[in-house]
Amino acid sequence: MENKSILFVGQIGTFLINTMTASLEKEGFRVYTASFQVSEINEYFKEATALFLSIDDNFSTDVMAALNFVKDQCIMDDKKVFAMGEDEQVAQLKKIIGEDLIWESFLRPINPRQVCETIGKLFDSASNVSQKKRILVVDDSGTFLHNIKSWLEPTYKVAMVNSVTNGLSYLGKQTPDLILLDYEMPVCNGPQMLEMLRADPEMNSIPVFFLTGKGDRASIEKVLALKPQGYLLKTLPKEKILEALQQYFNSQEEKKEA
């Protein structure tokens, strides 16, 4: 991970934050700081590779607004979060922004040197992740998103959104190697999103696999008529889904080499 930068969010100027900031800067990190105000976080959000949330008090209205902002933006920009606080505070934080976004959590009291060492090791290990294929999953089922993320993440870099609107917002900032798109969703469904992608010159080349819960012939023919790069039945076991994705990416590499 070439860009080693982190945004500390919490009580600015405390001895703990100052100590960790100095330690990380010695290790080549670019460090930014902000309080739990949306405007301050937004000022540095784009510059940071990851965020460090230090919860020192109750979850006030401002803190809740800031956490919801962090959650939405980290999902869109595919960024991870470090969390620090008392046991109950960290547990509450995980409920608010989701455990999938938490890279590592630290419970008080902590050793600043150990925290910085852990952060450094995670950034170093993440350098290999940047080479992974990026997959965007668009599905309105939170349960399915959780399951497929756990299946895909060891092999791929995974981003998840729960609606077409959020999917298009993500695509305005990131270009994945593949989109796994739920065929049936409320308000705006998969076929409608695919139509919008194919009509956009900047997005029309992004490959799409439809996700469908219906495996009967008529339903599959309806899916294939839209000419996606492929489709996956949601009822398939983990191994079959991973195999299908690997076969697709292998075929793309073979085309490049031909």
Q: Give the separation between CA 135 and CA 141, rounded to whole angstroms.
A: 17
Domain 132-257 indexed as CATH 3.40.50.2300 = yes
- What's the pLDDT tens digit per position in 42-60? 999 999 999 999 998 778 9
- What's the pLDDT tens digit per position in 187-210? 899 999 999 999 999 999 999 999
With cut-offs at 50, 70 and 90, classify the pLDDT of residue 79. confident
Alpha-carbon distance values, 249 to 35, 133, 153, 174, 245 (Å): 43, 9, 16, 19, 6
- What's the pLDDT tens digit per position in 56-70? 877 899 999 999 999
Please state whether the predicted TM-score (pTM) of the whole model is above 0.85: no
- Per CATH, 5-126 and 132-257 having the same topology is answered yes
Domain 5-126, CATH homologous superfamily name and number: Response regulator (3.40.50.2300)
Question: In whole numbers, what is the pLDDT of the chain averaged over residues?
Answer: 89
pLDDT at 173: 83
Assess whether the previous peptide bond of 109 is cis (omega < 30° from 0).
yes
Helix (H, G, I), strand (E, B) or coil at 184: coil
Domain boundaries, the chain: 5-126, 132-257
